[in-house]
Structure 1
């Protein structure tokens, strides 16, 4: 049997997820491409094709102004996303792994250039449904962060499927964790409480940290600096969760119930339940 190809240690530690993805794909054996993933009905080849669809869609829409596929009558956003993703993945089954990899390698730098040219504090062209109510503007950096998380998560789903750990150091996973916790105030949106009510969310592991949501003037927001320090002294509720559990929860690779079993919860049970229902995908 031919020797199993491996990624180099430096490749898995690269600071760009696209480079880590290409190193991973280049190390896969032919049989790896047909291994099932956590995405229902999709094997590794399909998940890679979905990533290619993401690259093509954002370059076409955000760079070139192409409107893309249109909604059908009464189609919701989740059903639209599922339909268009499925259509592309089905068509891409005609493409070889080599073609998919080469296309990702060609388009990745173009996508990086698109993000680098963005004014990060400008309003985003697209909403981030899991971090803000419909119609509320979000900054461009959050839209870019959302795309980053999707690319990273799909890479990890491939790694899980083929048994190849990596790309989970703080340089690559840290931005994912931070982006996902931007959805904490939205996860708490239906929970009331007096001003000053707070929820502390500790993510353990090298890519972790602490995020605190505080209720003020009838709404939740992440606290920073001195406000976060004051809230930490009198947390109403607290969640401590491992970084691996967090990203799987936020993308529903595991259920909220499983995430709670694998975490430490204290304080107001209603608030910890809402916090651990955090969702960072369109669903």
Structure 2
């Protein structure tokens, strides 16, 4: 076995989610591949194209040479344009073509991951065109495929796997950015204390504290008399943090105690995915 132990949990989470995605789309008829998802402009087919494309980039395959149409209203940034190329180049592929490429890509990628011999701190180029450590990129891939698995489940009406290994990788990555959301994006004042009380299949309570210099930190300690407490279920937390919905759509599922103005700023700046 060549995989470093600290990489194995991300690889296992990725494997679990990618196999779940294949299981979800294999029985679909042609028309179901066009079903809309929560992602603006993206269908079920488009999400599968995105997943295939990024895994191909992780394999070192060259990016497609492809000119995007000018009328893609949902493509507004250079990052979005980069992501869209792998999607648009497959928009006219049939269901059998999509399934065949997905299966082949998963086989190749699984083999690559089984034979991974680099150290966790090795610097690699991520699909987002950034130089990051291998450990972080594998966490990012596990996060991405789990979130897209959930996108597909909502679009197809097949809920599940909210507590799978990918869900726990996603929780851990989202925890790391919460201090920035509270202290920098929401501009919480010095000495603010914000508690996130999340229930459901993945349950946790975390406290973000903003110090006198405006820097945020997070831990699992209980705080008495916090400035704000946000109580919500795991799926709602994930959907908000991943930009799958706005607060107005799930307001009845979020309980706010304390400074409602600060709570509003936090929730308005909660989406952390590109």
Q: TM-score range by the shorter chain?
A: 0.7 to 0.9
Q: Which has the higher contact order (CA 8 A, sep 6+)?
A: 2
Cα distance change, pair 115–198 in 1 and its aligned pair in 2 (3 A):
farther
Cα distance change, pair 67–27 in 1 and its aligned pair in 2 (3 A):
closer
2:189 corresponding residue in structure 1:
193
TM-score, length of structure 1 as denominator length: 0.72
2:9 corresponding residue in structure 1:
none
- Contact 2:14-2:141 at 8 Å conserved across structures: no
Cα distance change, pair 245–90 in 1 and its aligned pair in 2 (3 A):
same
TM-score, length of structure 2 as denominator length: 0.74
1:144 is the counterpart of 2:138: yes
State the shift of 1:123 in Å: 7.3
Cα distance change, pair 98–258 in 1 and its aligned pair in 2 (3 A):
closer
Cα distance change, pair 91–123 in 1 and its aligned pair in 2 (3 A):
closer
State the shift of 1:53 in Å: 1.2
Q: What is the 5 A alignment of 1:188-267? A: 188=182, 189-190=184-185, 191-195=187-191, 197-224=192-219, 228-229=220-221, 232-267=223-258
Distance in 2, Cα, partners of 1:79 & 1:248: 21
Cα distance change, pair 219–43 in 1 and its aligned pair in 2 (3 A):
same
2:88 corresponding residue in structure 1:
90
Distance in 2, Cα, partners of 1:123 & 1:98: 32
Q: What is the 5 A alignment of 1:1-283? A: 16-60=16-60, 79-95=77-93, 96-110=97-111, 112-113=113-114, 117-119=118-120, 141-188=135-182, 189-190=184-185, 191-195=187-191, 197-224=192-219, 228-229=220-221, 232-276=223-267, 277-282=269-274
Aligned-residue Cα RMSD (Å) equals 3.4
* Paired residue secondary structure (1:183): helix
How many matched pairs? 246
Cα distance change, pair 39–211 in 1 and its aligned pair in 2 (3 A):
same
Cα distance change, pair 55–263 in 1 and its aligned pair in 2 (3 A):
same
**Uncovered stretches (5+) of structure 1, i.e. residues with no partner:** 1-12, 70-76, 129-134
- Contact 1:201-1:211 at 8 Å conserved across structures: yes
State the shift of 1:38 in Å: 2.1
Distance in 1, Cα, partners of 2:154 & 2:22: 16
- Contact 1:207-1:243 at 8 Å conserved across structures: yes
State the shift of 1:181 in Å: 2.9
State the shift of 1:87 in Å: 2.2
